């Protein structure tokens, strides 16, 4: 399956001009990227301009979407509006929204349902708060996953994306450090097992599991396994705000999946 790299700009940059310039630098640097799908997730006000300057080279992702299509929800953004803008993916359940905005599993589940109705592809972020012994599988992973997918017919979940993002590894967490590639692979296999149990093998097979947490140009390709179905992409926060680093990350992943030693 084609690896997916998602550039999550979070609440950056703070001007339209800077967002346009960053998107343009990334798109030009990537050229006609093949073998890796690249999605840029800018803040809502920049989606249109990022879509325009990146054209076919990257696809658009939103950082969130509301749990309903329209109505009296001041400040919220409907998944239908995003779809209409040409957005393909939507990140849901990011730990920053869980922590700063109090989003819980129930709301995330409703958002996943609304995104699917609008034909957006949810990228569902799950991850434990604290780094524990790597021999222990945090129970919160199974819980967050099952709750996010609760009550959704299996067939609708084809081709969604699960992002394993241990909160302790996210670069803005004090003392953050990236997960080890071995542990990330173990987690990917565990999440895949959960998906098989929840959705059956044929739907689970269509789902990409990706890793997020302090990924940089130096370590990016080490998270992807090519011999087994481990991590099949990355969600990049901080490093995606630097066009050169973002491009190097994508190139290193492309090389890895092609088995290119050059
Ligand atoms: C994120 O917040 O989704 C993330 C992966 O951030 P960073 O790459 O900066 O750790």
Q: Tens-digit pLDDT profile for the chain (262 aa)?
A: 899 999 999 999 999 999 999 999 999 999 887 899 999 999 999 999 999 999 889 999 999 999 999 999 999 999 999 999 999 999 999 999 999 999 999 999 999 999 999 999 999 999 999 988 777 889 999 999 999 999 999 999 999 999 999 999 999 999 999 999 999 999 999 999 999 999 999 999 999 999 999 999 999 999 998 888 999 999 999 999 999 999 999 999 999 988 865 4
Instruction: Give the atom of ligand 1 at the shortest distance from the alpha carbon of 240.
Output: 8
Q: Output the pLDDT for position 260.
A: 63
Nearest residue (by CA) to ligand 1, atom 2, is 237
The count of other CB atoms within 10 Å of the CB of residue 15 is 9
Rounded Cα distance, 59 and 48, in Å: 11
Active site residue 132: no
Output the CA 96–ligand 1 centroid distance in Å.
10
Q: Output the pLDDT for position 136.
A: 82
Q: What is the DSSP string of 159-215?
A: T-EEEE--GGGSTTSTT--PPPHHHHHHHHHHHHHHHHHHH-HHHHTT-EEEEESS-
Rounded Cα distance, 256 and 251, in Å: 9
Taking the mean position of all CA atoms in its chain, how far away is CA 93? 10
Q: Output the pLDDT for position 132.
A: 81
In terms of C-beta density within 10 A (0-12 exposed, 13-18 middle, 19 or more buried), how is residue 210 classed?
A: buried
Q: Output the pLDDT for position 196.
A: 98
Q: Output the pLDDT for position 111.
A: 98
Output the CA 153–ligand 1 centroid distance in Å.
30
Tokens of 98: 């869980």
In terms of C-beta density within 10 A (0-12 exposed, 13-18 middle, 19 or more buried), how is residue 241 classed?
A: middle
Report field, pTM of the whole predicted structure over 0.95? yes
Residue of 103, 165, 232, 245 with catalytic role: 165
Say what the alpha-carbon torsion angle 225, 230, 232, 235 is, to the nearest 10 degrees. -100
Q: Output the pLDDT for position 261.
A: 52
Rounded Cα distance, 39 and 188, in Å: 20
Q: Work out the angle at residue 168's Cα, subtended by the Cα atoms of residues 163 and 169, and round it to the nearest 5 degrees.
A: 60
Q: Which residue(s) pair with 90 in the sheet?
A: 62, 122
Active site residue 232: no
DSSP 222: G
Tokens 């950056």, residue?
Answer: 12
At residue 85, the 3 state secondary structure works out as: coil
Q: Output the pLDDT for position 227.
A: 82
Quick check: CB of 215 below 6 Å from ligand 1? yes
Q: At what angle do helices 181-199 and 139-149 cross, to 10 degrees?
A: 40
Radius of gyration of the chain (CA): 17
Say what the alpha-carbon torsion angle 166, 172, 173, 179 is, to the nearest 10 degrees. 40
């Amino acid at each position: 399956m084609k690896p997916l790299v998602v550039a999550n700009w979070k609440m950056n940059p703070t001007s339209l001009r800077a967002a346009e310039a960053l998107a343009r630098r990334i798109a030009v640097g990537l050229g006609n990227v093949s073998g890796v799908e690249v999605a840029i997730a800018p803040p809502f006000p920049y989606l249109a301009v990022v879509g325009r300057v990146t054209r076919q080279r990257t696809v658009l992702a939103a950082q969130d979407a509301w749990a309903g299509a329209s109505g009296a929800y001041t400040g919220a953004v409907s998944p239908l509006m995003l779809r209409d803008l040409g957005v393909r993916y939507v990140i849901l359940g990011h730990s920053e929204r869980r922590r700063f905005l109090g989003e819980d599993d129930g709301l995330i589940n409703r958002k996943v349902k609304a995104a699917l109705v609008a034909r957006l592809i949810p990228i569902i972020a799950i991850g434990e708060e604290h780094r524990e012994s790597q021999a222990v599988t945090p129970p919160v992973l199974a819980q967050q996953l099952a709750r996010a997918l609760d009550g959704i017919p299996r067939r609708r979940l084809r081709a969604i994306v699960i992002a394993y993002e241990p909160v302790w590894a996210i670069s803005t967490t004090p003392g953050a450090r990236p997960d080890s590639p071995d542990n990330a692979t173990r987690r990917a296999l565990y999440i895949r097992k959960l998906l098989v149990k929840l959705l059956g093998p044929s739907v689970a097979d269509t789902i990409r599991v990706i890793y997020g947490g302090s990924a940089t140009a130096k370590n990016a390709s080490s998270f992807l396994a090519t011999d087994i179905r481990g991590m099949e992409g990355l969600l990049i926060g901080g490093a995606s705000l630097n066009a050169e680093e973002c491009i190097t990350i994508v190139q290193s992943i492309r090389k890895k999946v092609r088995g290119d030693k050059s």
